């Protein structure tokens, strides 16, 4: 089995970090764009897509800056993260998505994130 590698995607966003963070870190926000149904209890998000459930525990988070999650079925060293940065040059808000995939699957996984983030931007009026 191939070892997964970390990759990173950046998306400029036209909204404040606090609004964006709500969409990345709350069940209501995530349910708007990331999954069909989202619940949160005791540090664990329960996501559902077409009735297929997945759980991810919150590893770390800093309000208006980032949230890092770990899929319960994934190896311990893997995670996915939503990070919010402000460009020093343009002062624009930037969403950074970090995830893991096998090298040959990074393009497909990136395309999936592009689709998801496009839906997020639509929801926040971007």
Mean pLDDT within 95-120: 96
What's this model's pTM, rounded to 2 decimal places? 0.92
**Mean pLDDT, residues 82-90 taken together:** 93
Give CA–CA dist 1/43, Å, rounded: 30
Structure tokens at 71: 């899929």
Can you tell me the mean pLDDT for 69-96? 94
**Tens-digit pLDDT profile for residues 60-78:** 999 999 999 999 999 999 9
Residue 15: phi and psi, rounded to 5, are: -165, 170
Please state, in angstroms and as integers, the Cα–Cα distance from residue 35 to each residue in 9, 48, 116, following that order: 19, 6, 9
Architecture of domain 5-123: 2-Layer Sandwich (3.30)
Predicted local distance difference test score (pLDDT) of residue 2: 60
Q: How far is CA 20 from the centre of its chain?
A: 11
CA angle 110, 24, 86 (to 5 degrees): 80
């Amino acid at each position: 089995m191939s070892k997964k590698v970390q990759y990173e995607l950046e998306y400029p966003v036209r909204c404040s970090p606090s609004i964006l963070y709500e969409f990345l870190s709350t069940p209501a926000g995530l349910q708007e764009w990331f999954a069909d149904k989202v619940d949160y209890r005791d540090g664990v998000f329960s996501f559902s897509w077409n009735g297929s459930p997945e759980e991810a525990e919150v590893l770390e988070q800093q309000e208006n800056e980032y949230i890092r999650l770990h899929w319960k079925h994934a190896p311990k060293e893997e995670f996915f993260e939503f990070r919010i940065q402000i460009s020093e040059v343009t002062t624009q808000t930037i969403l950074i998505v970090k995830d893991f995939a096998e090298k040959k699957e990074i393009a497909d996984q990136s395309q999936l994130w592009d689709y998801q983030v496009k839906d997020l931007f639509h929801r926040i009026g971007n």
